[in-house]
Every structure is written in C-alpha cells, then in structure tokens.
Chains A and B, each alone.
Chain A
Amino acid sequence: MLKADRGKYPEIRNGKPIIDLDSQKFVKIWQGPQHPGVTGNMSLEIILSGDEVVDLKTHVGYLHRGFEKLLERRKYIQGFTIVCRICVPEPDTNEYLYAAGIEELAGIEVPERAKWLRTLTLEMSRLTSFLMWIGGQAAAFGMGTVGQWSLAHRDFILDLFEEISGGRIYHLYIIPGGVRDDLPAGFSRRLEKTLHDTEKLLREIDIVLFNNAVFKMRSKGLGIITPDMVDKYGIVGPNARAAGFKRDIRKDSPYLIYDQLDFDIITGNDSDVYDRARLRWKEMKQSIDLIRQIISRMPAAKDYHQPLPNVLHWKIPPGETYVKAESTRGEYGYYIVTDGTECPRRIYVRGPSYTHAVKVLEKLAINTNIADIHGLMISLHTYPPEIER
C-alpha cells in the first residue's frame, strides 16, 4: 500500500477535512452507475488528491423498483415472483426467508424432507454467489482469468438448479409449506461430479490467486476493519468473521437443519482484503462439505410439501415477525407485519450491504489509492439491490 504525505492537505479542522474544489488541489470523479469495477448499479463520488482518495460518497437509486411497496399490494403467493429478484446472485435466501416468515405467522409446519431440500438449495446458492464474487475480486486486481473459470463453474451449478426447479437464475423452488418438487433421479451423482470439479477449481484458484505476489502486495493491509468497528457500524457475516468475531447465524440461532450438520465457524485475524478473500475461499470449501453431508444424510421420506389453504384467498392472522438467515454477505432478514387481510401490511428486507456499501465503504476508502477502490468494494461483497429495495 502506498503511504502519502497528508501533512499539507486536506487541512483537518474540527475532525473534518476541509475540501475546497476550487483550490485545484482536488479532483472529483464519479465511478458508476455503469462501471466495470463497481458491483451493480451504484455510483461512487470520489474526491481525489493526486491518486489518493480523500472523500467518498455512495450514491444509490439507479435500480430502485420499490419491492417493498409492490409486496404490500400483492397477495402472499404473488409476492414470490418478486422476492427472489431482490438479490440476483443469491435468490434462494430471499425465497426461504419470505416463506419462513409466512409459515411462522400462519402456523404451518414444514415436512422434514422439505427442510433438507431447502438447506441443500441454500448451500448451493451460497456456493454460486461465492463463485461469482471471487471472479470479481480477482478481476479487481487485474486477474480476469479467475473470473472466467469461476463463472463457468457457477454455470455448472446453475445447470443443477435448472434440473431441480426449471429456472437457472430465479428458482422459485422454496414455497410456503415446503418445496415445489423432489430431486430428479440421478441428481446426487451429477451434483457430486460438479462438486468435484469445483474443488479442483478452488485448488487452482489457491495457486494462481492466493499465492500471487501482485494480489498479496495489493490486498494485504488494505481496508482493515478493526474489531471496535464491527458493532458500531453493524458489520455482519464474513466481514465480521474476518475481524475475529465468531458470529454465524447458522450456528448461533440454527434454522432448518443446520443444527444437525457438522461444521465450525471460520474466523480470520488480519481483517484486510486478503484475509476476507481467504476466509470466503474457506467458506466455499465448507459449503461443498455441507452439501455432501446433506446429500448423504437426507431422510428418504416422500413428503416434501404441506398442503395449503386456497392461496388466492389466503388470510394470515395479524402479527409480526423477523426471520433471518446467513447469506454469503451475512445476516439477511425479513421483517413481516400482517394485519389479517389477504395482503401483507409491511415487509422490510434487511440486507447486509445496507451498512457495508454505505457507511463502512465510505469510512474504509479514505486514504486508499483510487486503483484499490474496486478491490475494497468487492471485498465487502456489496449488492446494491439490497440497499434500494
């Protein structure tokens, strides 16, 4: 990391830098909403002094579709086509949480096999999301090849999703009362082959990315999240775990059948971009291991769906709840309020990027080099649709 002499400017007065654009010592540039380095449609307003960032503001609103308002005007079953679109790389977490919240409020019990199938899809979607992320992380530091490999392998897992649900990106597989269908014949054999290939890919990524001198030099010491920042900024998920916090919702408040699976929480020490990348790489291996455990231990019951009342006139008694799950970015939650009618009163989606991409990024970006901004942003694993729902 480059260390610049900040002795002269910007002048710090009352703890705030005085940035006068007319003095010609600073340059303001915009990155995004269309920029290859920025994840999704989000824009960064960067003020530079030389090539060092002195101020950064996140601007969102380029893909706002009013998901929460749309959900208020639709019946419960109609909301399913909307919720999965809130997060493109990982739609299953949204489907699961929406279904789980409705089931809790309506008092529906899910069959045992449906829980296992749900966990299987959740872990598979975690793996696809991580594979997409590692391509971006490598490409931000100039290694586009890793992205080509990992996105190709993500597609192999999407093929498996297509087998289960008929859809590649949006699956609509998890519905209230269970899941839509059982696994097709011979699925576990094809899944095992894909997992085997993915493991081989992870070994190769280990060689080309984590042992790469350029990647090491640029990512070590960049964007350090100190432990006292974690609670103050509401940091969750791998970003908090890399700072040494043993926090994982799958372990702390287990949902579905995660309490029957055998895994440990992976933590890091250095809490920089390299450490977070390494931690996510380990979590990908853990996901593969969990998928294998699920396949081998899944009970052979036939029942995978609980019959529902007529979903077109489905009234859910008044109540409110908050359900959460561990996505690849951290705690993902749905806060659902019902008022006894056919439509929900309010649905609030809590995405981890809400804090990571706004306050945390604005804080970490100060005094970094402009070339490292994208690597830093991708290392926080942000997705704009979670900010503007």
Chain B
Amino acid sequence: MTKLIDRLKANFRIKNVTMQRADLIFLTVPEKQAVSLITYLRNQENFSHLVFLTAVDWIEENKFQLNYMLHNHGFNFSLGIRVMINRQKPVMTSIHHLWEHASTYQRELKEMFGIDFPGSPEIDQNFILEGWEDIPPLRRDFDTLKYSERTYFPRTGRKSHDPRKFMKSKIYPEQGEER
C-alpha cells in the first residue's frame, strides 16, 4: 500500500501518514483537496465503500477533525482521511452525490457538531434531537452536568415515617397524632 500513498502524494498535499495496522492507514489532507481526493479514491482506486463519516472536536487547537473512512473490498484495506476545518465557522463540501448514505452522516454532524454541509439533502431537518436549542451537544464545550442541572429540577424526597409510630397513630388516633 505504500505505492498507493506515493501515487496520492504526487497529486495531493498529503501529510501525517500513520500506518496504524497492515490494513489501516490514516492520512491528513487539506480542506480544499478533500472531496477531489475522495472522488479520485472512489472512482480510480476502487475505494467503493464509505464506512463512516464523523468528526472529532480538538477544542484546544480550535479545529474540527472530519474523518472519512473508505474501504477497498478488493485489497481489504481501509483508508482514514482526516480533514481539519475551522471550528469557528465550520463548513465543509458535501459528498452526498458520491454515496446516498453520506447525507445521513452529514445530517447528524450538522446536529451534533454544528458542521454545515451546504446542498446536502434534508441537512436542516432534525435527525435525533427534535427541538434542540442549546449548542450542538457533541462539542467539547457542551457540559452535560450543567445542562441537566439547568433543565431538570431536583425531586424532593418522600416524607418517611417510623412504621410503628405511624401505625399506632392510625389505629389509636385518640392517643395523639404522630409528628
């Protein structure tokens, strides 16, 4: 597979190639070249299966890392393509024209990370979180504890009685109420 990486390096600005396993390589590509690289891999190199598309929030570096995982069934080889995009204005070119199910992943990313994919079908419709008004929940700065404290109110405990005294006051009310 080093041949494939050399071929890719001739045409694309590829950095940080990580050989994770014999059948899995991660590489980073600039945002502008990402979709053309994915299209090239799908059409020319037979990476026909889009395994998943997801994002990682690197809040310290102010970046989102998009991860496109492609798989080649002929060589049984997976390629993870990392794309770093700006965290303040996260917009990425859509790939819904290459795979039908890509639009579902993009719809989820819009909802969970706030990454926009202009032109993707149903991108603005809610997928999982209907009526969500807070910041996208899978971002690192969304605090689940603070959210639950703000949204849900604590329940007061039940009033508890000592069983012996309680039953006595029920059966013999003339001896005085239990307090």
Contacts and interface: CB of A to CB of B under 8 A. Distances in A.
A358 B69 CA distance: 19
A233 B101 contact: yes
A5 interface: no
Interface in B84-99: 99
SS of B interface (majority): mixed
A115 B57 CA distance: 34
A335 B76 contact: no
Contacts of B126: 61
Contacts of A346: 54, 56-57
Given A252-B76, A321-B24, A60 B127 contact: yes
Contacts, number: 91
A87 to B, nearest CB: 16
Contacts of B114: none
Most buried by B among A333, A355, A363, A387: A355
Contacts of B103: 359
Interface string B97-131: 00111011100000000000000000000111110
B127 A350 contact: no
Contacts of A335: 52, 54, 67, 69
Which size bracket describes the interface of A in this complex? Answer: 35 or more
A61 B130 CA distance: 8
Residue of A72, A245, A320, A321 ringed by the most chain B CB atoms within 10 A: A320
Contact of A348 (B50, B52, B144): B52
Contacts of B23: 253
A233 B128 contact: no
Contacts of A253: 23, 76
Contacts of A252: 73, 76
B15 to A, nearest CB: 15
Contacts of A64: 128-129
B138 interface: yes
B137 interface: yes
Contacts of A350: 51-52, 69
Contacts of A141: none
20 contacts: A69-B144, A72-B140, A73-B144, A231-B99, A232-B100, A233-B99, A234-B99, A252-B76, A253-B23, A320-B80, A322-B69, A322-B80, A335-B69, A345-B56, A346-B56, A348-B54, A350-B51, A354-B104, A354-B105, A360-B101
3 closest A-B pairs by beta carbon, nearest first, are: A61-B128, A355-B101, A231-B48
Interface of B: 18, 20-21, 23-24, 26, 48-52, 54, 56-57, 67, 69, 73, 76, 78, 80, 99-101, 103-105, 126-130, 137-138, 140, 142, 144
Given A253-B76, A354-B52, 15 more contacts: A68-B138, A70-B144, A232-B99, A234-B49, A252-B76, A253-B23, A320-B26, A322-B20, A322-B78, A337-B56, A346-B54, A346-B57, A350-B69, A358-B104, A363-B100
